[in-house]
Amino acid sequence: MVIAGPSSVHLARNISSDLNVNIIEPDLKIFSDGESKLRFPSVNNKHCIIVQSLYPPPDRHIIQLLMIIHKCKKDNASKLTVIIPYMAYARQDKAFLEGEIISIEVLAELLENFGVNEVITVDIHNKVSLSYFSVNVKHVTAIPILAEYIKNNIILDKFFIISPDTGGIARATKFAQLLNLPLLCLKKKRDRDTGCVSIDENIGMKVEGMNAILVDDMISTGESIVKACEVLKKQKIGKIIVVCTHAILLGTAFEKIINSGVKEIISTNSVPSICSKVDLSIILSNILLDANLSDIKD
């Protein structure tokens, strides 16, 4: 059965519908001090597919996930598959400064120690993070379904694809290939201490009058997108569309990005928002079925 974590109820409903299996939606209460209380019926030796994205507030969503896992284990669940569409702490995959804790390693060990058998995640920020998991991890990308959405909803006249930095070049290249569009990669620098972003204005391509699709795995503060738009606007670019898997959009990030000249932000429903226009359930359901999970097929 599918168990809908509080952060991903709608996505869990879609997955249960795709798989044609029962769903449990735990009762949730948030106390005045911020603590969570969850309640749901016994899972009675079932294979439990728990869906819980770890977008902000990540620590609350992590403890809720652990509470659900804990109860499933006490109910003698036959198997625990945890779907984490957005994996929190994946940007902290190494100690950048002396004395830093590798946070993704802590999360990976928690899931292992709680008895999780399998983890499925989508477009993790850095695949190095996957190396910290000793349980079976399946990583899936949303790039094909995002590209399909663009193909079906945008007239791609004079468009090209932009990667905001070299770290995302493989992702943007795949996106450009699927849409048969040219690719441009910007040169971004981030100060490790201050977090400030700068982008080289020498982009190496004439873009006046052209249209751009900026492709990234995630948007949090929107600072990188705004800086990229400033550079592109100086080059007299036309329309700018932003596409990402995880639109976290902290604070006023959405308004800042739109005000910088972006016409539209398109994301998946890994993080529910006004930008969530592409449903992940189809690829998540397919990866479950492709794994020959006989208890789901039955």
Q: Say yes or no to pLDDT of 296 above 70.
A: no
Q: Please list, residue by residue across 239-273, b when 16 or more beta carbons sit within 10 angstroms of its beta carbon and e when fewer do.
A: bbbbbbbbbbbeeebbebbeebebebbbbbbbbbb
Domain count, the chain: 2
- Judge if 161 and 258 occupy the same domain: yes
pLDDT digits (tens, 9 = 90+) for 131-149: 999 999 999 999 999 999 9
- Judge if 272 and 204 occupy the same domain: yes
pLDDT > 90 in the chain, percent:
77
- Judge if 28 and 122 occupy the same domain: yes
Q: What is the pLDDT of residue 199?
A: 73
The phi-psi region of residue 236 (left if phi > 0; otherwise alpha if psi is between -120 and 50; otherwise beta) is left
- pTM greater than 0.75 (yes/no): yes
Q: What is the pLDDT of residue 291?
A: 66
Q: What span, in angstroms and rounded, lies between the C-alpha atoms of 283 and 109?
A: 26
Q: What span, in angstroms and rounded, lies between the C-alpha atoms of 116 and 107?
A: 12
Q: Say yes or no to pLDDT of 202 above 80.
A: no
pLDDT digits (tens, 9 = 90+) for 50-85: 999 999 999 999 999 999 999 999 999 999 999 999
Q: Which structural domain range is residue 18 located in? A: 2-141+280-297
- Judge if 130 and 229 occupy the same domain: no
- Judge if 158 and 33 occupy the same domain: no
Q: Say yes or no to pLDDT of 221 above 70.
A: yes
- Judge if 128 and 151 occupy the same domain: no
- Judge if 75 and 201 occupy the same domain: no
**Residue that wins the pLDDT comparison between 190 and 206:** 206
- Judge if 274 and 286 occupy the same domain: no
Q: Active-site residue among 151, 188, 236, 256?
A: 188
Q: What span, in angstroms and rounded, lies between the C-alpha atoms of 12 and 219?
A: 23
Please state, rounded to an integer, the average pLDDT across all residues of the chain: 92
The CATH number assigned to the domain holding 203 equals 3.40.50.2020
227 labelled catalytic: no
What mean pLDDT comes out for the span 227-244? 91
- Judge if 16 and 136 occupy the same domain: yes
Q: What is the pLDDT of residue 156?
A: 93
- Judge if 123 and 153 occupy the same domain: no
- Judge if 267 and 222 occupy the same domain: yes
Q: What is the pLDDT of residue 290?
A: 80
- Judge if 91 and 119 occupy the same domain: yes
pLDDT digits (tens, 9 = 90+) for 97-110: 889 999 999 999 99
